[in-house]
């Protein structure tokens, strides 16, 4: 029987590349963006609008779904695809990121020294992580094996090994110990995965090692030598964009080139161009959809000229300047929102706290990201990625 998963490289231009990930639920043309349907729903948008916005793949979070409705309920309902009515590729993460970020606090909270929510992480040890449900306080234990079992019940096409998301503010020694434990967890994940893999899912390993080149090299070698289908760059990527680019760049030099490579949690336009140039194939981030729920609409560099905006990648439709602006978010955009509605209408909906505002901006941002990735793929095929960048990102940022 033909393997249902494959990764084919179509074209390379510099280190950037166009490829196809084949899955039982269809193909993913890469570079691709993966949108967050955290709790088995893209927030505020029905799945048909997501589908008609050229979306190739979405992800759900194991952490949220194991707590509610529980993986057994999802399995009884036929798995994530059937439960939510999505028949294209899906990814689930391992649950680790939320356990550790809710436990330690997020990277930004860590850097800023702020800590708002109650800690839910009780302990981490060799076996796994013990944490408290944010819904009802019940205690859960997530081990590498358990994470795979849960992801098998959820039934996404692409799944991830459990790793410890090392905080940024720890010593190199801590980072090393954490990396070695995540390596042992990766092996345990793989063993558990292979026990009952019937070709319906494919597993990704995750490179660790924080910002330390020697640790990253060691981690890449380790992941390269295990039979993962794909690989992700995880762990701490540093304190600044520059450091993040350095870490990704260094890591990419050491990872195998024949596997689809995912960069966890990155979704800015400029960041995506940088990472694609380094050979990254897929991205995920809450940014485009979360931004929408704060009134932020993504906008191409060339459409930004007439608008005063502090941010270079989006406009905030809450701003008073849009009260009477009856242009669509982008006049050259063919998304549902831009074909039907004006900035002024969405501005009104935001002021009136109408949920429809979040729906409409999310649809635009999803469509925008898919068009961005499509343009990136075409530009790689045409060996003109650098020129393409100027259509989407301001030059001052793009070439910083």
Q: Least separation, in Å, of the C-beta of 334 and its own copies? A: 15
State which of residues 47, 269, 276, 292 lies at the interface with its own copies (CB under 8 A). Answer: 47
CA distances for 322 relative to 225, 315, 318, angstroms: 54, 10, 7
Residue 12: count of CB within 10 angstroms of its CB: 14
Nearer to its own copies, 140 or 392 (CB): 140
- Is 93 catalytic? The answer is yes
Q: Per rule CB under 8 A, is residue 290 in the interface with its own copies? A: no
Contact status: 360 vs its own copies (CB under 8 A): yes
Closer to its own copies by Cβ: residue 52 or 221: 52
Tell me: is residue 333 an annotated ligand-binding position.
Answer: yes
Site string for its own copies, 247-276 (x = CB under 8 A): ------------------------------
Q: Which of the following is catalytic: 157, 281, 284, 325?
A: 284
Alpha-carbon dihedral 362, 19, 228, 124, rounded to 10 degrees: -30
Minimum separation from the CB atom of position 118 to its own copies (A): 19
We find the least distance from the C-beta atom of residue 388 to its own copies, in angstroms, to be: 31
Structure tokens at 310: 């502090």
Does position 10 interact with its own copies (CB under 8 A)? The reply is no
**Does 83 participate in binding its own copies (rule CB under 8 A)?**
yes
CB of 27 to its own copies, least distance (A): 23
Exactly one of 216, 287, 341, 389 binds its own copies (CB under 8 A); which one?
341
- 44 binds its own copies, rule: CB under 8 A: yes
Q: Is 326 in the site for its own copies (CB under 8 A)?
A: yes
Provide, rounded to whole angstroms, the least separation between the CB of residue 352 and its own copies: 4
Vertex 384: Cα angle to 370 and 366 (nearest 5): 10
Q: Is 68 in the site for its own copies (CB under 8 A)?
A: yes
Is 284 tagged catalytic? yes
Q: Catalytic residues, which ones?
A: 93, 284
- Provide the annotated binding site for Zn(2+): 333, 335, 338, 364
- Provide the annotated binding site: 93-97, 163, 208, 235, 333, 335, 338, 364
Give the interface with its own copies as residue ranges (CB under 8 A).
39-49, 64, 68-69, 73, 76-78, 83-85, 323-324, 326, 336, 340-342, 344-345, 348-349, 351-352, 354-356, 358-360
């Amino acid at each position: 029987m033909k393997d249902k998963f494959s990764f084919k490289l179509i074209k390379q231009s510099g280190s950037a590349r166009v490829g196809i990930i084949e899955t039982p639920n269809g193909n993913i043309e890469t570079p691709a963006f993966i949108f967050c349907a955290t709790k088995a729903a893209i927030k505020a948008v029905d799945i048909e609008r997501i589908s008609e916005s050229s979306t190739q793949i979405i992800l759900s979070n194991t952490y949220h779904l194991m707590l509610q409705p529980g993986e057994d309920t999802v399995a009884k309902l036929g798995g994530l695809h059937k439960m939510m009515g999505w028949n294209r590729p899906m990814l689930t993460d391992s649950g680790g990121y939320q356990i550790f970020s809710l436990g330690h606090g997020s990277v930004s909270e860590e850097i800023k020294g702020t800590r708002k929510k109650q800690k839910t992480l009780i302990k981490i040890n060799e076996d796994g992580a013990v944490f408290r449900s944010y819904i009802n306080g019940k205690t859960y234990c997530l081990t590498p094996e358990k994470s795979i079992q849960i992801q098998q019940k959820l039934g996404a096409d692409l799944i991830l090994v459990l790793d410890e998301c090392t905080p940024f503010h720890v010593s190199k020694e801590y980072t090393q110990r954490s990396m070695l434990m995540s390596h042992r967890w990766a092996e345990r994940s793989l063993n558990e995965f292979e026990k009952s893999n019937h070709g319906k899912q494919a597993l990704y390993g995750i490179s660790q090692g924080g910002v330390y080149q020697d640790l990253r090299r060691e981690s890449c070698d380790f992941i390269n030598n295990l039979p993962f289908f794909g690989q992700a760059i995880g762990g701490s990527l540093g304190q600044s964009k520059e450091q993040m680019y350095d870490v990704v760049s260094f890591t990419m030099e050491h990872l195998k080139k024949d596997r689809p490579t995912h960069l966890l949690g990155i979704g800015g336009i400029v960041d995506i161009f940088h990472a694609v140039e380094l050979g990254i194939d897929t991205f995920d981030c809450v940014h485009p959809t979360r931004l929408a729920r704060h009134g932020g609409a993504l906008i191409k560099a060339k459409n930004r000229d007439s608008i005063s905006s502090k941010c270079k990648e989006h406009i905030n439709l809450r701003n008073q300047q849009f009260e009477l602006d009856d242009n669509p978010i982008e006049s050259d955009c063919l998304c549902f929102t831009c074909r039907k509605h004006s900035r002024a209408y969405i501005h009104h909906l935001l002021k009136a706290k109408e949920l429809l505002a979040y729906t409409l901006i999310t649809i635009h941002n999803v469509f925008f990201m898919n068009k961005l990735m499509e343009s990136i793929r075409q530009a790689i095929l045409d060996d003109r990625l650098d020129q393409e960048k100027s259509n989407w990102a301001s030059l001052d940022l793009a070439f910083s």
